[in-house]
Structure 1
Amino acid sequence: MSNVSYYTEEGIKKLRAELDHLKSIERPKASQAIAEARDKGDLSENAEYDAAKEAQGLLEMRIAKLEETLSNARVIDESQLDTSKVLVLSKVKIKNQANGMEMTYTLVAESEANLKTGKISVNSPIGKGLLGKSVGDVAEIKVPNGTLNFEILEISR
């Protein structure tokens, strides 16, 4: 089962850079650690060898996961996106109707989400609630502590 994920060009570059780093730097380090531990004698009672093998297994698992993610990743052409509705990569200015606070978020793939930089996942409750809305619409979003109403003020790229 393939889970297609949509990324920005920047997001894909970060994933590829991490994968390259793991393959070219971390993988040889793990092999070296196993070789050094093996040289220390009896493998049946060598905790250092067991730890190095386990670390290598976790590294290989991470590499496989990244390769799978990249094989299912699609880059979104931002110039082709419609700005009349909230979509992935939309920059949305919203107003909380309860307290009048205005916020601006960019909806991104889950792996690119970073609240500090104003990027929220399209899979988050707020992200899901905003998808498909237009300027002037009110999004009623259920969150763990109740329901929030956000008015969409502006949509851009």
Structure 2
Amino acid sequence: MPDKPVFLTPEGRDKLQQELDNLINVKRPEVAEAIHSAKEEGDISENSAYDAAKEQQAFVEGRIMQIEQMLKNAEIIDSRVATGLVVLGSRVKVVEKGTKDEEEYQIVGSAEADPNKGRISNESPIGRALMGKKKGDSIAVKTPAGELHFRLIEVW
């Protein structure tokens, strides 16, 4: 079965590549040095510094493998294609019906999602509801608290 594509903006790909470079060129050597130093302390069977360094090594190597896999399966999305429709990479402004509160989001793949920064996954309830919509469309989003209704007021 082929791996699931990882949708990334060019910025998201660059950020992952920078993280990978840092892990390989900085963190991996630091962890190797920490393991070496801990081994020099003698018996490693009761050496907490050695155990901590090995745990850090497992984390770093796991993250390297995860990022490499994500980059291998990356499909770069170009939000500059002016379709007028919400696509991956689009920025949108919505207003909840009955309020004047406007919210801005960028629709990104799940690997880049960060709701605190307004970057929502195309797989999230609101992201799914927005995909393929155009300015002026109404959307309904099912949430645990009930259904919310929004109007899409801008797409760029």
Give the TM-score taking structure 1 as reference length: 0.89
Using the alignment, how far apart are the partners of 1:58 and 1:114 within structure 2? 22
User: SS at 1:92's partner residue?
Assistant: strand
Using the alignment, how far apart are the partners of 1:119 and 1:53 within structure 2? 34
Code of the residue aligned with 2:43 in structure 1: it is D
Using the alignment, how far apart are the partners of 2:114 and 2:21 within structure 1? 23
Deviations 1:88-137 (A, max 9, x none): 11121212113232222211122323334432221221111111222222
- Which deviates further from its counterpart, 25-34 or 116-125? 116-125
Equivalent in the alignment of 1:51: 52
Using the alignment, how far apart are the partners of 2:17 and 2:43 within structure 1? 39
RMSD, aligned CA: 1.6
Code of the residue aligned with 2:81 in structure 1: it is Q
Code of the residue aligned with 1:132 in structure 2: it is G
Using the alignment, how far apart are the partners of 2:92 and 2:133 within structure 1? 10
Cα contact 2:79–2:88 (8 A) shared by 1: no
Query: Cα distance 1:75–1:100, how it changes in 2: closer, same or farther (>3 A)?
Result: same
Equivalent in the alignment of 1:152: 152
Q: For residue 138 of structure 1, report the CA deviation from its aligned partner.
A: 1.1
Where does the alignment leave 5 or more consecutive residues of structure 1 unmatched?
A: none
Query: Cα distance 1:78–1:130, how it changes in 2: closer, same or farther (>3 A)?
Result: closer
Code of the residue aligned with 1:115 in structure 2: it is P
Q: Does 1:135 align with 2:135?
A: yes
Where does the alignment leave 5 or more consecutive residues of structure 2 unmatched?
A: none
How many residues were matched structurally? 155
